[in-house]
Amino acid sequence: MAIPASQRPKPFLEPEYCKGCLRCIDACPKECITEGDAINAATGLVPVNLNLDNCNGCQLCVQACPEPYGLRPQAGPVATDAHGDFDLEDPKNLFGAKETGAPVAKAQPSEEIPLPLGQPMVLKGTYASALGALLAGCRHVFGYPITPSTEGAELMAKVLPKLDGAFVQAVSEVAAINMMYGCSGAGLPCMTFTSSPGFSLMLEGISYMIGAELPGVIVNVMRGGPGLGNIAPEQADLKLMTRGLGHGNTHAIVLAPATPQEMLDLSRKAFELSFKYRNPVIIAADGYLGQMTGVVKLPATMTKPGLPEWAVWGDREHRGNLICSIFLSEPDLEAHNVKLLAKYDAMKAEAMFDTYRTGDADVLLVACNTPARMAKGAVEDLRAQGIKAGLFRPITIWPFPIEGLKPLLPQVKRLVMVEASPGQLEDELRLALSHAGLACPPITPVQRYGGILPQQTEIVAAVLKGGAR
Ligand code: SF4
Ligand code: SF4
């Protein structure tokens, strides 16, 4: 037998538990509930108002309310305790006993999937980098367009929806890097493409990612500066990437490709390193390399990423995880810095370099990115003129591969620093020599700026002319 309306309990609202979602207003057929107009001091939210004159106790509003202590059927007077607070029902009666001792998440390992043998492709650097990221399992890219990096993001925007991934064009570089923070916090490989002014805007977010120990790959296709500068190639951000990654005690591995093939290979490698160390990794490309096309071969495998145990994934196993870079207690923050310093120290094992004709070289050219290609040509020209020249090419700018340079130093009479910046690479080399306790040979700088790269002929001329500092 149906209960008469007069005997059905009418709803009761505890304002502290109303979040003002207004679902109950839509649910009520008698228009008993209206939008509130006063902020509740305890919650900062605006609870709804009830006028139950026409209420028939149908309970539709109670069912619509998502808050367990929001709208409740309440027969008779409301029970309160000695302090006048509402006598709430024990949550155990509503939800059962609280689960304790949630299982600790285990890492789900990544898998290497064999790729069929394909023909080499001719790709521009930004495309090759995007392809390397896709092969590393990256399916989430966040970015803001900026020349000369845009094509990488543009390719991802076309491809990712077909691969069950997502590309989000953010409102700014600041938003893009913070979207990476969120995506990476869920344990997913993610990246961005940017160029010098955009990279500057990302620095605060990079510092947060380092502090929260989050992986992520940032491809910086460097252009001329300062300020907006121009869109031609420069190695303008080497110092920023090696010594200035936002506030605090920050470092990230910086990889410097010199060919489209390395744009692919090092972009892929960057994801591996990024997850290995739980730290962002930066690809330092230059505008020329981003636009330059070259033959690119695919690797033998691609990666299906796993899920790290630290991910904030949203299931029961990962419930205890927290991603955060804030440590309010000084000893805690100092301990966190000590941990980061130890991690930076471990990253030194990843130092990479390449050499060309250095066996008997007493004039050693040092260059990275596109200038290394001009320097390589200069080595050939100088050898043809009887000068024992060689090339040392750092592939990691940070950590600087000092252990690779060290065995060459006893035979070297002069270093020739070839770079598209006013000595940013030279500064990094001098620091590395100093920290290693090694004497610095005389240095001949060959520098161009503003979007002009050092040319092969001027490198040769500088070596022939001599002079060093
Ligand atoms: S019980 Fe029914 S009539 Fe009463 S306020 Fe809720 S929805 Fe409206
Ligand atoms: S449905 Fe519940 S939480 Fe939402 S406004 Fe109504 S009483 Fe408040």
Q: Ligand 2 centre and the CA of 62: distance in Å?
A: 9
User: By three-state DSSP, how is residue 295 classified?
Assistant: strand
Q: For residue 157, what pLDDT band results from cuts at 50, 70 and 90? A: very high
Instruction: Count CB neighbours of 343 within 10 A.
Output: 15
Mind listing the pLDDT tens digit for each residue in 57-100? Answer: 899 999 999 887 788 886 455 555 666 555 556 656 666 665 56
Please provide the CATH number assigned to the domain covering 8-79: 3.30.70.20
Residue by residue, DSSP assigns 8-73 as SPEEEE-GGG-----HHHHH-TT--EE---S--TTTSS---EE-GGG-----HHHHH---TTSEEE
Are 229 and 420 in contact, with CB atoms under 8 Å apart? no
Residues touching ligand 2 (Cβ under 6 Å) are 13, 18-24, 47-48, 64-65, 67, 70-71
Q: Is 400 left (phi over 0), alpha (psi -120 to 50) or beta?
A: beta
User: Is 8 touching ligand 1 by the criterion CB < 6 Å?
Assistant: no
The reported pLDDT for the residue numbered 266 is: 98
User: Is 27 touching ligand 1 by the criterion CB < 6 Å?
Assistant: yes
Q: Ligand 1 centre and the CA of 21: distance in Å?
A: 16
Ligand 1 nearest-atom number relative to CA 59: 1
Neighbour-count burial for 272-306, b at 16+ CB within 10 Å, e otherwise = bbbbebbbbbbbbbbbbbbbbebebebeeebbebe
Instruction: Count CB neighbours of 214 within 10 A.
Output: 24
Ligand 1 pocket mutation pick from 3, 10, 26, 32 by most atoms within 8 angstroms of CB: 32
Mind listing the pLDDT tens digit for each residue in 427-450? Answer: 999 999 999 999 999 999 999 999
Alpha helices of 212-359 — where are they, by DSSP H? 238-243, 260-277, 287-291, 330-347
The rounded distance, in Å, linking the Cα atoms of 95 and 24 is 22
Are 110 and 308 in contact, with CB atoms under 8 Å apart? no
Which ligand has the shortest distance to the CA of 53? 1
Would you say the CATH fold of 115-350 matches that of 8-79? no
Angle between helices 173-185 and 196-211 (to 10 degrees): 30
Q: Report whether pLDDT(104) > 60.
A: yes
Please state the domain extents for the chain: 8-79, 115-350, 353-465
Mind listing the pLDDT tens digit for each residue in 33-68? Answer: 999 999 998 888 999 999 999 999 899 999 999 887
The reported pLDDT for the residue numbered 114 is: 97
Q: Report whether pLDDT(7) > 80.
A: no
Ligand 2 pocket mutation pick from 33, 45, 46, 48 by most atoms within 8 angstroms of CB: 48
Mind listing the pLDDT tens digit for each residue in 284-322? Answer: 999 999 999 999 999 999 999 999 999 999 887 887 899
Which ligand has the shortest distance to the CA of 5? 1
The gap between the terminal CA atoms of the chain, to the nearest Å, is 102
The rounded distance, in Å, linking the Cα atoms of 268 and 135 is 7
The reported pLDDT for the residue numbered 98 is: 58
Q: Report whether pLDDT(1) > 60.
A: no
Q: For residue 101, what pLDDT band results from cuts at 50, 70 and 90? A: low
Least confident window among 2-16, 59-73, 366-380, 411-425: 2-16
Closest by CA to 414, choosing from 454, 469, 374, is 469
The reported pLDDT for the residue numbered 172 is: 97
The reported pLDDT for the residue numbered 10 is: 87
What is the rounded average pLDDT of the residues 147-154?
A: 96
Residue by residue, DSSP assigns 189-241 as -EEEEE-HHHHHHHHHHHHHHHHTT--EEEEEEEB--STT--SSB--TTHHHH
The rounded distance, in Å, linking the Cα atoms of 432 and 229 is 29
Closest by CA to 444, choosing from 353, 363, 345, is 363
HSE value, Cβ hemisphere, 13 Å, CA-based, for 384: 7
Ligand 1 pocket mutation pick from 25, 52, 53 by most atoms within 8 angstroms of CB: 52
Closest by CA to 415, choosing from 424, 405, 401, is 405
Q: Ligand 2 centre and the CA of 96: distance in Å?
A: 23
What is the rounded average pLDDT of the residues 331-356?
A: 98
Instruction: Count CB neighbours of 58 within 10 A.
Output: 17
Are 45 and 39 in contact, with CB atoms under 8 Å apart? yes
Angle at CA of residue 127, ends 193 and 401, nearest 5°: 70
Tell me the CATH number of domain 353-465, given options 3.10.28.10, 3.40.50.920, 2.60.120.1440, 3.20.20.70: 3.40.50.920
Ligand 1 pocket mutation pick from 55, 63, 65, 71 by most atoms within 8 angstroms of CB: 55
Mind listing the pLDDT tens digit for each residue in 176-215? Answer: 999 999 999 999 999 999 999 999 999 999 999 999 999 9
Are 426 and 417 in contact, with CB atoms under 8 Å apart? yes
Q: For residue 9, what pLDDT band results from cuts at 50, 70 and 90? A: confident
The reported pLDDT for the residue numbered 77 is: 55
Which 3-state string (H, E, C) describes 123-153?
A: EEHHHHHHHHHHHCCCCEEEECCCCCCHHHH
Ligand 2 nearest-atom number relative to CA 27: 1
User: Is 411 touching ligand 1 by the criterion CB < 6 Å?
Assistant: no
User: Is 57 touching ligand 1 by the criterion CB < 6 Å?
Assistant: yes
pTM, full prediction: 0.78
What is the rounded average pLDDT of the residues 252-271?
A: 98
User: By three-state DSSP, how is residue 462 classified?
Assistant: helix
The reported pLDDT for the residue numbered 76 is: 53
User: By three-state DSSP, how is residue 327 classified?
Assistant: coil
Tell me the CATH number of domain 115-350, given options 3.40.50.261, 3.40.50.300, 3.20.20.20, 3.40.50.970: 3.40.50.970
The rounded distance, in Å, linking the Cα atoms of 222 and 220 is 6
